[in-house]
Structure 1
C-alpha cells in the first residue's frame, strides 16, 4: 500500500495529558496508522526568522506516524493566516462577503506560505506516496507542488462550504484560486451543493468536459470531484457521555430539578448564528410563556480569533443580549440564559450533552457541523434529547430526523424549541435511533477510508497527473 501524506494548516500531535482528539484528527490518525504515514503542517509557533532564511523542519515519530511541522514568522502568519485565510476566504465561503477584507499583499503572503510548505514537504515525499490536503488554508497547495515537479496523486478535502458564483466571483483572485484547485486529482466536498457550486464556478471560466463518472477536464487539467460528508466516532462519544457525573455536575443536576435544558456549543464565530439564536430563545419565552421559569439555555462559545475585530464585536453584542434577555425574563429564582465564553474539556462536554433536553445547532452556514452529530451520539438511548438543526448546516442533509429550521426565522426556531421541549418519549427515541443508525454507518473511520480508497484508485500514466483515470472498483 502507498504511504499516505496528510497536509493541514495545524497538526494535532498526540498528548496523553489532554483530552482525546476530536473531529478531523480522529479520521486522519486512523488513516495514517494504516500506512505509517506523514502528517505535515504548521506547528502553531511563531519564529524569530523574518528574512530570506528558511525555518527548520521538525520531525517527531509517534505510534508509527511521522509528524512534520514548520513554524511561521510573524509576517507570514499575519498575511497567510489572519488576513487571507480568515479575513477573505473564511467570510466569503460562508456567504459573508460584506466582511471580506481583501488586500493584494495578503494574497501574495497566502501563496508564499503555500509555496514554502510545498518546498519543505517535497524533501519528504516518496515516489509512491499519495497526498491528502485539507481545507481552505491550502487551496493553492497542489499547484505549488506541481511547480516543483511533484507528480504524485494529490487529493484535497474542503471542510467548509464552497460558495456559488454570485459570491465567489466577488473575490479579486477567484480565477487564480479555481485554476490552482484544478491541479488536484481528487476534490472532496461535504455536500452535493458545495460540489455543484465549485463546478459551476469553473464552468464560468473554462469549458468543463466530463469524461466518466465525476471526472472532469478544465484549465488543461483532469480531476475528479466527489462528496464525502465527514462523520464522527459515535460509540467513542457515547462512552465519554456515559458513566458517573463529576461532583459539581451532579450537584448542578440536583439543583435544576425539573428545569429543562437547552444547550449550544461552538467556538465564537459570526457564521454560527449566535445573535439570531439568542433572539429565537427570547421568542420562545415570548410566544410560549408556559416555559418561563421552566427552561434554561446554556450557550458555550469559547473565544476564537480574538485578534480579529469582527469577533470582538460579536462577543460584545452577545454579552449585551444576554443582559437584556435575562433582565426581561429572569427572576430571583431563575436565570434563563447562560453565556459561557470559555473552553470545556471534551469529555465533560459530552456528559453535558447527555444531560440536556435539547441541542440547539443553528449556524447561518456550515460545511458540516460535527457538534450536531456529537450531540445525538451523546444521548441516553432510553431518554434522548432532541436536536434542533439549521437547514444551512451540512449535517442537515443526513440528520433529517432532527427538527430542521431556518436560523433566520426566530419564530420558526422558537416553535421548534417548543416542539422539542414537549416531544413525547416515543417520538424522541424513534428520531434518535434513525440518526444513530446513520452516524454509525458513515462514521469518521468510514469517511477517511472512502476518501483514501478513491485517491488510491486514481491511476496516473507516465505523463503525470493530467492523464488521470480511475480504476473500476
Structure 2
C-alpha cells in the first residue's frame, strides 16, 4: 500500500505543559486506541491536534513539539488556539454535532460562530495536509470533527485518494434536517472517494439525506454526484483482540489480577468501562444495579459493580451536570446498600492503565455495556 495519512481531531499523542516543561503521553481516546495498531503496520503519518492550546507555547516550543512528534512518533501536529478549541471543538463538534447525531436534540446548540469556527479549523487541517501530501498518498480522515475536510481537500487535490470514516451514528433524515449546515456537511463528506459508517442503518440514513437534500441518486451504495462517484458502505470497527488476549500472560497484568481477586474475595464482579458521556446510559445502569439489589437482597455483599468513567469534555455544561448526577447516584447506592465491609459500587473517575484494564476484563464475570446511542 502507498503511504497512509491518517487525519483525526486528536493525535494519538497528547502534550501537556506542567511547570514550564512539555510532557508527551499516549492518548486514551477510543479513536486513537482503535487505530494505533493498524497505523503501526504501515508506512504512515498521523495528522491532528496535539492537545495543547497554541496560546500556551512560544515559537521555540512549537518547533520542539513538531520535531519530537515527527522524529519519535511520525505525527504531524495541528496547533489550535483557545478560541478554536472553545468554538470548533467544545462548540460545533460537541455542542452541535455530537448531541444531534446521537438523537439528544434537546442538548444541541445552533450558533453561527460555532459553524464559522468549524469551517476555519477544517480549512486549517486542509492546509496542513497540503504541506506534506504526496501524489500517491492515501488520505484517511476520521470522525465528526472533520466532515468538511474531504471537500476542501478535493478542491485542492482533485485526484487524491480520500477515505472518510464516521465513528458515531449518522441520524435519520428527520433528525439530520434540524442541522442548519446539513447541505454543507453532506457536500463535505462527498468529497471523499469512500465514506464509511459502523452500520447499514447509518449508511441508509446518509444515502436518504443525500438524495432528498442534494438530489443525487445512488445505486448499490454508489452515489453519482455532478462530476464524481462516491462509494458508501458499512465497516464495523473491531478491537485489537490479540493484544488483550495475550496481556493476561504478562507479569504486570497477572499481578493486577491477583490483587483484584484478593480484594474481591468470593464476590462476583460486574464491570462497566466508558467515557463519562450522556450517550452511554451510565445513570441508567447505576439505577438498574440499585433495582437489582432491592429486588434480590440475597446478592448483597456477593457482587460488586466496578464502574470506570473516563473524564470527557469537562468544559461542556451537559457533561458537568452528568458528572454531578453520577457522583450523587453512586453515593446514594453505596449509602443505601453498603455495609462496613462492602461497597456495592467501586467508582473510578479516571482513565486506567492498559495493564489494570486488561486485568479487570479478565476477572470480570459480567460486562455491563448499555449505551443509549453509540457508533
Q: TM-score normalized by structure 2?
A: 0.88
Alignment of 1:290 with 2:289, yes or no, is no
Segments of structure 2 that go 5 or more residues without pairing to the other structure are 16-23
RMSD, aligned CA: 2.7
1:2 positional shift = 2.4
Q: Matched residue of 2:343: which SS?
A: coil
**Correspondence for 1:166:** 174
Cα contact 1:262–1:357 (8 A) shared by 2 = yes
**Could you say if the C-alpha distance between residues 177 and 248 of structure 1 is closer, same or farther in structure 2, counting changes exceeding 3 Å?**
closer
Cα contact 2:153–2:191 (8 A) shared by 1 = no
1:241 positional shift = 2.9
> What does residue range 56-455 of structure 1 map to in structure 2 within 5 Å?
58=66, 60-61=69-70, 66-211=74-219, 213-218=220-225, 221-244=228-251, 250-367=258-375
* CA distance in structure 1 between the partners assigned to 2:47 and 2:351 by the alignment: 26
**Correspondence for 2:3:** 3
Cα contact 1:23–1:232 (8 A) shared by 2 = no
* CA distance in structure 1 between the partners assigned to 2:99 and 2:227 by the alignment: 30
1:161 positional shift = 0.9
Cα contact 2:11–2:49 (8 A) shared by 1 = yes
Aligned residues: 360
* CA distance in structure 2 between the partners assigned to 1:129 and 1:70 by the alignment: 19
**Could you say if the C-alpha distance between residues 278 and 34 of structure 1 is closer, same or farther in structure 2, counting changes exceeding 3 Å?**
closer
**Could you say if the C-alpha distance between residues 26 and 301 of structure 1 is closer, same or farther in structure 2, counting changes exceeding 3 Å?**
closer
> What does residue range 455-466 of structure 1 map to in structure 2 within 5 Å?
none
1:62 positional shift = 5.0
Cα contact 2:256–2:355 (8 A) shared by 1 = no
* CA distance in structure 1 between the partners assigned to 2:182 and 2:271 by the alignment: 38
1:249 positional shift = 5.8
Cα contact 2:254–2:359 (8 A) shared by 1 = no
* CA distance in structure 2 between the partners assigned to 1:260 and 1:49 by the alignment: 47
